[in-house]
Amino acid sequence: MSRQKNQEEGTLDTPMGRTGIRDRAKESISSKNLHPHGSNCSIAIVSPDDLHVIWDRVEPYLEAVIERSQGEAVLEDYYEHISTGDMQLWVAIEAPEILACMVTQIAPYPSKRVLRIISLGGMQMDSWIEFLPDVEHWAMGMGCSSLELWGRKGWLKILKDWECSYHVLTKDLKGRMH
């Protein structure tokens, strides 16, 4: 309880708190917000209040993404930031299965706001990839002017209308830390 209260008090001093993004995102999110297309698959953005209900079903997908990442986040980080509204959890559902999940975050740059896809994983991509325009529509409703994804090069073959704007270069400094 005290940790949650401390987090809430400190949120105004974060980019998310200062811009009101968290509150706007939470207002717009509903776990009943399904978007069916031609298939039996649909997508939903999960309300932070419903995260505990679905978490064990998306955890394996997130673990698989974490295994291929550079250590930016662990499961607990995702849970915390999704539950506070700093990040959004999207699921692709073909009842009763969750086929995939995606975690996004609205990134407020000084000159623009973008929806960043932080993690995306699952199975049967052909069933749910067609829903990305719904995610784009939601992002525009949140004031975002673009989407960004930090991922492997293979995504360029799938996301044909996306472009590689730049490369992210990293250098591990853990060996130099004391």
Residue whose structure tokens are 């073959």: 157
- Tell me if 107 sits within 8 A of 116, measured CB to CB: yes
Instruction: Give Cα 69 to chain centroid, integer Å.
Output: 15
Answer yes or no: is 157 within a domain.
no
Determine which helix (DSSP H) or strand (DSSP E) holds 104, and give its type and residue range.
strand 97-108
Answer yes or no: is 119 within a domain.
yes
Confirm whether pTM is higher than 0.85.
no
Answer yes or no: is 142 within a domain.
yes
pLDDT value for 7: 38
CATH of the domain at 132: 3.40.630.30
Answer yes or no: is 164 within a domain.
no
Answer yes or no: is 111 within a domain.
yes
The residue range of the domain holding 88 is 2-152
Residue whose structure tokens are 């008090």: 9
Residue 146 to residue 115: CA distance in whole angstroms: 6
One pLDDT digit (tens) per residue for the chain, 178 residues = 333 333 344 444 444 444 444 454 444 444 334 455 556 888 889 999 999 999 999 999 999 989 888 778 889 999 999 999 999 999 999 888 899 999 999 999 999 999 999 999 899 888 888 888 999 999 999 999 999 998 778 888 888 888 888 877 878 888 787 6
Answer yes or no: is 166 within a domain.
no
DSSP code per residue over 112-131: -EEEEEEEEEES-HHHHGGG
Answer yes or no: is 64 within a domain.
yes
- What's the number of domains the chain is made of? 1
pLDDT value for 167: 77
What is the pairing mode between strands 88-94 and 42-46? antiparallel
| Burial degree of 101 (CB within 10 A; 0-12, 13-18, 19+) | buried
pLDDT value for 72: 85
Answer yes or no: is 163 within a domain.
no
